[in-house]
Amino acid sequence: MNKWLLILLLNLFTGLAAFAQRADKPLVQFTGITHNADSVRQIVPYVTITNITNNNVVYIANYKGYFSFVTHEQDTLRFTAVGFAAQDVVIPANTNKSYTVKIFMKPQVITLPAFHMFPWATTDEFKRDFLTMKLADDDLENARKNLSKGLTSVSYSSLPRDANEIQSAIGQDMHNRILNSHSLIPNPLLNPIAWGSLIKSITDGDKSRNN
């Protein structure tokens, strides 16, 4: 019991001594703005400011990088932000109750180790899938398949004509009209051979169906 009481009293006296020591230090209005060291015009917003000397009391700069709070002379303040290296600032003595600074935060790039994800839970599953894997065709085989007669005929019948094909068809039609503009186009109704073929096909209609 006496041991714990002694430890409690020692901690109390130590805290009082530290408080008395800090009470002797003058107060300072600490003001400043946080900038990017690589670009002076760029502001670093919401920087965390930790007073290491005073029980890690935390302050936050606003969205414009501005901060202003009361501290003591010779206090150590640590500025931290995501993507920037930590920076410590010590309040000097004899500041005449105010201290204004510009804090330049240095960007810090942290390279994380590479992380690979595999769809196989075990090595045996990988070996099984690898052995049963179907290899893709080479470029020559793919070209032969794309230029096959069946595939091209299906493409011609299903795909609409493009602008070049339509223009070519119109140009060919105009060319034929110009060539036949001064000639007589034969009328099949005035052709006796055509009439003979028509009459013969009508008379032979029953026989052709029977055959």
What pLDDT score does 90 carry? 93
Model-level pTM? 0.46
Tally the C-alpha atoms within 13 A of residue 6's C-alpha that lie toward its C-beta.
3
What pLDDT score does 159 carry? 76
Q: What is the CATH number of the domain that holds 68?
A: 2.60.40.10
158 within a domain of the structure (yes/no): no
What pLDDT score does 89 carry? 94
Give the length of the chain: 211
Q: What is the mean pLDDT of residues 41-57?
A: 92
6 within a domain of the structure (yes/no): yes
pLDDT winner (highest mean) among 2-11, 17-26, 201-210:
201-210
The answer, yes or no, to whether residue 29 has pLDDT greater than 90, is yes
138 within a domain of the structure (yes/no): no
Q: What is the mean pLDDT of residues 41-61?
A: 93
What pLDDT score does 20 carry? 45
125 within a domain of the structure (yes/no): no
Q: What is the mean pLDDT of residues 195-211?
A: 71
Q: What are phi and psi of 186, to 5 degrees?
A: -65, 140
Structural domain of 70: 2-105
Q: What is the mean pLDDT of residues 94-98?
A: 85
The answer, yes or no, to whether residue 174 has pLDDT greater than 60, is yes
pLDDT winner (highest mean) among 68-82, 136-150, 185-199:
68-82
The answer, yes or no, to whether residue 52 has pLDDT greater than 50, is yes
Of 187 and 110, the structure prediction assigns the larger pLDDT to: 110
The span from the CA of 171 to the CA of 174, in Å, is 5
The span from the CA of 75 to the CA of 69, in Å, is 13
Tokens matching residue 102: 């510009």
What pLDDT score does 6 carry? 54
Q: For the chain, how many structural domains are there in total?
A: 1
